[in-house]
Amino acid sequence: MTGSGRFVVIGTPIGNLDDLSPRAARALTEADVVCCEDTRRTRKLFSALSIPTPRLVRLDQHNEAAMSAPVLEALASGESVALVTDAGMPGISDPGDRIVKAVADAGYPPEVVPGPSAVSAALAVSGLPASRYLFAGFLPRKGRDRTARLEELAATAVTVVIYEAPIRVARTVADLVAVCGPDRAFVATRELTKVHEETWRGPLGGAAEWLAGRQPRGEWVLLLGPLPVRGRGSAEERAPLSQEEISVALDAKLASGADRRRAVAEVASEMSVPKRQVYDVAVELKGQR
């Protein structure tokens, strides 16, 4: 480290400007340079807070790696550099982690001024268990990566937090119903801290019905409840179901007249196992017959 510069990671409001802390406002006032996703949005933030706008530098997913050198030059010259995103905490499904690492590796200890986060806000308002959770961010949009991720989340024994764009909310809920069954606990939030904030709670199947015919708008956070515990003991303590147990359940469904697709979906839901696991057993049974 050759200079006495200061690097500060600052959380900014996710919707309501009143959520900006006095410490965050002071850190923004003291900054010589502010790295931000969108200079226009950040300029509006300074204007709304009546804070003189310092030098704004774009730092997003496309140029984050290349921005390490100019940021380190600013720090070496003794400047105070702040890092913000359009909303929330930098690095949380937003740019920031690479530049923070580069600064730390260069010997400048990054400071943090914590602020609003859609993850913690959604968990707090959901009513779902939050002592442990998995933040999944945005899911892959298609293909095997999406299928694998959905099946992984379906088998997760803690609350799962998912970010989703409004145009893909209905599809994601439908995909979750397919792998988790309609009865899994679910919460959908939109526009947190904003005028049109809305939260829906209920089973996954009900969420699909609630979304039908709607035109989802705004920023969405979806929360999938933990995999239900079968019988006594914690999710970590219970033994996984054997292939024989799944086969017996499938045979019973098929014997009652259900087709294979319906039998797979019902067994996956009732036994709280990933749909892909049940499907693989169904394929093997068909081959044996």
Tens-digit pLDDT profile for residues 63-106:
999 999 999 999 999 999 999 999 999 999 999 999 999 999 99
Please, how many CA atoms are within 13 Å of residue 66, restricted to the half-sphere of its CB? 7
Q: Of 219, 237, 217, 221, which is closest to residue 229 (Cα–Cα)?
A: 237
Whether pLDDT at 117 is above 90: yes
Q: How far apart are CA 67 and CA 196, in angstroms?
A: 36
Confidence bin at 29 (pLDDT 50/70/90): very high
Q: How much of the chain, in percent, has pLDDT values that exceed 70? A: 93
Distances (CA, A) of 218 to 139, 155, 199, 223, 225: 17, 29, 13, 16, 22
Instruction: Please report, for the chain, the start and end positions of each structural domain, with discontinuous segments joined by +.
Output: 6-116, 119-224, 243-288
Confidence bin at 40 (pLDDT 50/70/90): very high
We find that the CATH architecture of domain 119-224 is 2-Layer Sandwich (3.30)
pTM: 0.78
**Domains 6-116 and 119-224 are alike in CATH topology:** no
Q: How far apart are CA 186 and CA 202, in angstroms?
A: 6
Residue pLDDT, tens place only, 244-268: 778 878 887 787 788 888 888 888 8
In this structure, whether the domain defined by 6-116 belongs to CATH 3.40.630.190 is answered with: no
Q: How far apart are CA 272 and CA 154, in angstroms?
A: 8
